[in-house]
Structure 1
């Protein structure tokens, strides 16, 4: 039993590696419920589906501006299949491809925005989107480069695959915070994973200008309950490992 006690203490108090704490699986589990499909009927009668994500529990949703542009009607589909009532456009950025929609709701799961000014080329990212309407598809990649356009606007070049219907997908850093919003890719023969995203600080500015207060990064995890806490998750994993070891004795 002395060896078992020692093993339990090691599992309990030695933190798991950072990669294990901040992996794509955890980020997806915590944030997928807040990622939505944005279903649009355009004024010309055509239909369009993009991606969005909830940024406040009372139904403020971020997406790409071109997703909601010229919309006659918009609603939202959540990853559990629930469909909202009509979504109303409340703000659109003039210089970047971002817009905000609002639905009538309460206590929704939501994401937390990170500080995109700290983003560096080479850092790992996780993207949750709806490519070809395949809802809640998880992809990974890197920040390939931080690019400044001639007009001063910053873009994030990303290597994570981006397909049609993925416009508006949140791009998460290793801590599970949204650092940019995917909106475009270079198509054509010979082009591979040349995709672009709008930094999240532009989204923060858009929400503030529209009069919306976004939750701060210091608040508790929003979507997965206690399992979103890395320490709690580590305790659970440690307990499962210990039970298997005891069973094998």
Structure 2
């Protein structure tokens, strides 16, 4: 799952999502989705490869859902407090049961905000709602499953799930 070629299956500029297919023999373990939307102040864990080439590789971070809308009241995303860096985009955001509740998409441009307001914002990051990913996937012929969500999982188990399911995607454009 590390460094294999992929092909783009589909993309949505409206949802800011893309589906890719691995051409490798070994497939990652798919994550399951949460049956419910993430709630305000619920704990989340995100995963990705932040600042690829500068930092050591796979990373997990914790935070919470801090606002039920995105930038400028955007309804396709939620605001999260988990730290997001360049190259985190596309990584999963899971709840305490291990179910996907979002797809990490961006962070607030603090340099632009500081120029406009004189203040540096902290922990203002965004994820596309998991419910939108659950619409996007089947509309592109991709099945998904949902987690039962009865018992919470340990943070270490969340990291293991995420590591087995998350890969670095580099675009050659």
TM value normalised by structure 1 = 0.50
Matching of residue 194 in structure 1 with residue 134 in structure 2: no
Is the contact made by 1:116 and 1:199 (CA closer than 8 Å) also made in structure 2?
no
Cα distance per residue 1:199-234 (max 9 Å; x no partner): 11111111111112123435xxxxxxxx96xxxxxx
1:215 to 145, 148, 152: 145
- Whole-Å Cα distance in 1 between the matches of residues 136 and 65 of structure 2? 23
Q: CA RMSD in A?
A: 2.4
Measured at CA, do residues 150 and 141 of structure 1 come closer, stay the same or move farther in structure 2, by a change above 3 Å?
A: closer
* 1:163 equivalent in structure 2: 85
Q: How does 1:132-211 map to 2 (within 5 A)?
A: 132-133=51-52, 134=55, 135-147=57-69, 153-188=75-110, 189=114, 190-211=120-141
Measured at CA, do residues 148 and 137 of structure 1 come closer, stay the same or move farther in structure 2, by a change above 3 Å?
A: closer
Cα distance per residue 1:174-215 (max 9 Å; x no partner): 011110011111122411110010011111111111112123
**Which 5+ residue runs of structure 2 have no aligned equivalent?**
115-119, 149-155, 158-173
Cα distance per residue 1:78-117 (max 9 Å; x no partner): 4xxx421x21111112312110000133553221111353
- Which of structures 1 and 2 has the larger relative contact order (alpha carbons within 8 angstroms, sep 6+)? 2
Is the contact made by 1:143 and 1:157 (CA closer than 8 Å) also made in structure 2?
yes
